[in-house]
Structure formats: structure tokens, C-alpha cells
Amino acid sequence: MQTDNPTAAILVIGDEILSGRTREGNAHHLAQVLCATGFDLREIRVVADDQDQIVAAVRALDSSLGGAWDLLFTSGGIGPTHDDITADAVAAAHGTTVEIHPEARAVLQARCDRMGTELTPNRLRMARIPVGATLIDNAVSGAPGFSIGHTHVMAGVPEVFRGMVDWLIPRLASGRPVQSRTVEVRRGESDVAEELRAIAAEFPDLSLGSYPYHDERGWGTNLVVRGLDDSRVSLAMDELKRRLAL
């Protein structure tokens, strides 16, 4: 699919993802948001709670550090415990250090005051922000994420992550949302491959995909046409249906 939209990558951080203990859903959610708002997601990567791995991944993915993609979004590792090392690793990748951010501290203090709890050293860890970063609002639990370079660092807790995404994405320069059409056929993938190949050659600016499934009635395939120009997507889908006699 031809696109001039900003490119993006997602970096999921956490031993619990790699061990299978936690089912990852943040990247799936963000992928849908990016597609709908005009960003071209090119890569999703998962790494352990390991500083060297995180640093290497950030440098490989953030274009401001010579990495591959325009924007990098991360999930996980900014909580209050010893294994929450994302802030330190991202700071190292960007050649800076972390410090207690006064605004982040004030947010955490205000939340503790409302809840009648103490701002303990462990809670205060969530105010450790790389020098030069700006904060990402967290309306759910207070502790902010942050942006530095082209890296946007967000929490791993799904509800908090989604709140941060809702705050962040409208503040970024986006492109054109991807348009999509889908048709379901009760045929196997091999039975529609020739027609799909012909449409792909006729519409090289679009993305065509086939996604087989099996249910109680047997095999079927969802055929999907995607692109930035809605009229082209509709035209390609109409031609595909014509070739399949649908």
C-alpha cells in the first residue's frame, strides 16, 4: 500500500509477556488506533525487562536516534518496583539521565493527598523522568508517561495505557486514516488466489489480503482491500467481487 503517513513502531516491554503469564493486548489496541488516525504501523517488538535490550530496541526504532521509524510507542516498565527500568533505559538510549520531575511529583502528591496515603519512595519512583522529556497525562492513576525524542513511553496496565493513548494521539501530527473494505466468501484461500492476485496487480497502490478461517460450515476466507483513497478502495473491491461473481 502506498502511503505518506508517519511510520510507527510499538515496543512492548516485560518479562511477563515473554513468559506467557500475561496476554498482551496493548499493541493490538494501539495498532487499531494508529490505523484509524493516520499512522503507518511498521513493526511491533517485544523485549524483556533488560536494560541493554530496551536501549538497543529504542535506538533501532526511534528515527531521532537514527532508527527505522518516525515514531516509537512503548508499553510497560514505568511502575514503582525494582524491575520497572524503562525510564532509565530510555534515558540511556537518548543520552540523558533521570531525575524526579517536579510536575510528576506534584501530580503524585496530589493523588496521595486525595487518597489519604503517603508518597513513599516506591511511589515516588514513578516521578523519575528522563531529563528533557515532556509528560504524558494519566487520568486513570496519576503517574505520568513521557515523551523524549520521538519515543512515547506509556504504562503497561491496559486501562492506564489506553488512557494515555487517548490523551497522546490527538496531539501528534498524523496522516490520512486507512480505508478498508471486506468481503466474506465461502471458499478456501487457494480458490480465490488468482482473482486476488489480478486485483493486486491492477491496484498496486492498495493492500490486498486474504484471511482464511474454518467453522462448522467448513472453510471460508475474508478478503480485505485497504488504502488511503476511499474511492480507489471501493473500486478495487467492486472489481474483485465482479471477478468472483459475487
Q: Which residues contact 189 (CB under 8 A, 6 or more apart)?
A: 210, 212, 221
Q: What is the pLDDT of residue 1?
A: 84
Q: Is the pLDDT of residue 227 over 90?
A: yes
Q: What is the pLDDT of residue 97?
A: 98
CB atoms within 10 A of CB 184: 12
Q: What is the pLDDT of residue 2?
A: 85
**DSSP character for 190?**
G
Q: Is the pLDDT of residue 8 over 90?
A: yes
Rounded to a whole number, what is the distance in angstroms from the first to the last CA of the chain?
24
Q: Give the pLDDT confidence of 163-209 residue by residue, as tens digits.
A: 999 999 999 999 999 999 999 999 999 999 999 999 999 999 999 99
Cell numbers given for 140: 486513570
Cell numbers given for 142: 496519576
Task: Give me the residues paired with residue 152 across strands.
Answer: 73, 147
Region 113-127 average pLDDT: 95
User: Domains in the chain, start-ordered, CATH in brackets?
Assistant: 7-171 (3.40.980.10), 179-243 (3.30.70.600)
pTM, whole model, 2 decimals?
0.93
Q: Give the pLDDT confidence of 21-77 residue by residue, as tens digits.
A: 999 999 999 999 999 999 999 999 999 999 999 999 999 999 999 999 999 999 999
Q: What is the pLDDT of residue 194?
A: 96
Mean pLDDT over each residue of the chain, to the nearest integer: 96
Q: Is the pLDDT of residue 112 over 90?
A: yes
Q: What is the pLDDT of residue 80?
A: 94
Give the integer Cα–Cα distance in Å for 196 and 74.
35
Confidence of residue 86 (pLDDT cuts 50, 70, 90): very high
